[in-house]
Structure 1
Amino acid sequence: MKSLLALLALALLVPALLAAPLKPFTAAQLPTQKNLDEASLAVESAMTNGGFEKVGEYSPYPTTQILVFTNETLKDLATASEKGGFGAMLRVSVTDHEGAIQIAYTTPEYWYNAYHLQGDLTSVTEAITKALGKGQAFGPKNGLEPEELREYHYKFGMPYFSDTLLLADHEDYQTALNTVEKGLQNKAGGVSKVYRIDLPDKEETVFGVAMTQKVSSDVFIMKEVDFKEMRSSAHLPYEILVSKGKVYTLPAEFRIAISFPDLSMMGANSFMNIMSAPGDIADALKAVAKGK
């Protein structure tokens, strides 16, 4: 009997031991599409038929379209987690790279752990896999284990997920929301709104934003960091989180690194080439958070 129990325990343990480390993006497996518009329509149809709600879309440059989706489970997971709004969505990228259409999405398990979400993610993973298929995961050469993602920071002295950057502190949630909406409408700091997701039964809202000025711009940053054959376009867009009266973002040293964890510190296509980006991003988003 003891031997049987031991074998059963081993059988349950082996799949976990053999599970591949996680990577930030997963290639979709949809029929070949002729162009960006056709591919984007195919993605939207597949995702909405799969129970997801499209909350926004964004074209940072002519060769790329990013569609953002959520569903009730994602919002519930975010509601149950500290600053969970950062993980309340899935991003799907459609990229024309040298004439080939690439479709990819943010790997649910990767971002679930990176953003410290709590609860059962199974239905989300199953739904997007059914909608878009599950090709090869990609990003860094070597993936990260769930426990590594929950403790992730790029280098010694660099911020963790918990080191959120406070952009502004308002008297209450509604004031904070109104101020951020005003800042986005005014395109303060060159920042505009891509989407908004309100979390149920929680004074928390996440905005996805497009950035266009100086070295905070999405075009400048992606030109430096997204250089591999399979593009990581679903890194975008960046987020602003309103939680009660406070407005937060993730430090660029974390937010960029979690999408590109194997990016070198120095050399061609390195963090050194965007060393001014964290400060510029913070300044641009602070302008939004203060409604300028």
Structure 2
Amino acid sequence: MFKFPKTLLITLFCLTFTAQAQDMLRPYQLLDTPASTLNEATDMTYSALEQSAFEVLGQYSPYPGARVIAITHPALLQAASTKEFGGYAAALRIGLTEVDGKVQRSYANPAYWGTALQVGSLEKVSAELKDVLGDSQPFGSRKGLSNKKLANYRYMMMMPKLKDHDHLGSFTSHAAALATVRNNLASNSNELVKVFEVAIPDSEEVLFGVGIGSGDGNDAKVMGITDGGELRHTAHLPYALLVSGSDAYALAGKFRIALAFPDLGMGTFMKISSAPNAIRDSLESLTKPANDPPGR
């Protein structure tokens, strides 16, 4: 019987292991960390984006020392338009965070989020981000997640999946839904900030990015507990509300937070146990008549 040389077997094993490791996806891509101010790093990022096909949808500062820039791209919008609720994937986030005298620049990995939100791996978007912003390194999970696991992701047994999103409200029409959400965001009565709004072409879906400034689900509180690592997950924010037809939805908090922090331990998750429902309640308040109190 023919036998493979031991060195060949080892080489084949190493190649297979390397290929499998490269297939594992992580939620963020780390760019350079310039020794500059937050404003300078933001200006540098804007300057690069202005020369590209990417569209800046909005920006906000969820807490001191952090900034988020929301962007979209024609290929991203096209992918989002291919399925119902694809609108969740219509925007990507760029995070800038002051850490130890430098500014970490990162962005949400299109391959990771596109796969998890079931609109595809978004290779074109990833390639253009590399061309515009430069080389980057994946981070956000020690081992990473496979395409198969991401495509049907949940944190653990009995936790929500993508399809288990929260239904926030129903309206008489798509126009009525949009008007109600826009009016409530404009009033800012519950410390909810409109970060962006983007319409998905050839569909009745519009995605709103919402900064949350109060309650147990507020951005600063949740990130203060979950985002203590060396590399920051600022590009996780903001949460989003999706108007689809005459209804409003949001990704379940336990799904959305776990997807952004896939290595989060149960002990840390329990410290923010009230956050998922609080996030839902905050977003749900945007679907109520302006004179209705939250939770009514």
- Asked if Structure 1 and Structure 2 have the same fold, meaning a TM-score greater than 0.5 normalized by the shorter chain, the answer is yes
2:281 partner letter: D
| Residue pair 1:160, 1:254 contacting (<8 A) in 2 also | yes
Q: Find runs of 4+ consecutive structure 1 residues off by over 6 angstroms.
A: none
Aligned to 1:117: 119
Once residues 40 and 229 of structure 2 are traced to their aligned partners in structure 1, the CA distance between those partners, rounded to angstroms, is 24
Shift of 1:121: 2.1
Structure 2 stretches lacking a partner, 5+ long? 1-11, 291-296
Aligned to 2:56: 54
Residue 266 of structure 2 aligns to a residue in which SS? coil
Aligned to 1:68: 70
TM-score by length of 1: 0.90
Aligned to 1:274: 272
Within-5 A mapping of 1:91-110: 91-110=93-112
Aligned positions, number: 276
Q: CA distance change for structure 1 residues 246 and 99 in 2, over 3 Å: closer, same or farther?
A: same
Once residues 125 and 179 of structure 2 are traced to their aligned partners in structure 1, the CA distance between those partners, rounded to angstroms, is 31
Aligned to 1:22: 25
Aligned to 2:248: 247
Shift of 1:94: 0.9
Aligned to 1:3: none
Aligned to 2:92: 90
2:28 partner letter: F
**1:288 alignment partner, one of 283, 286, 296:** 286
Aligned to 2:136: 135
Once residues 291 and 133 of structure 1 are traced to their aligned partners in structure 2, the CA distance between those partners, rounded to angstroms, is 45
Shift of 1:50: 2.2
Q: CA distance change for structure 1 residues 188 and 157 in 2, over 3 Å: closer, same or farther?
A: farther
Q: Over aligned residues, Cα RMSD in angstroms?
A: 1.8
Show CA shifts across 1:163-192 (max 9, x none): 110000111111100011011112243212
Residue 281 of structure 1 aligns to a residue in which SS? helix
Aligned to 1:160: 161
| Residue pair 1:180, 1:291 contacting (<8 A) in 2 also | no
Once residues 222 and 255 of structure 1 are traced to their aligned partners in structure 2, the CA distance between those partners, rounded to angstroms, is 13
Percent identical residues? 36
TM-score by length of 2: 0.89
**2:38 alignment partner, one of 36, 39, 43:** 36
2:203 partner letter: K
Shift of 1:125: 1.0
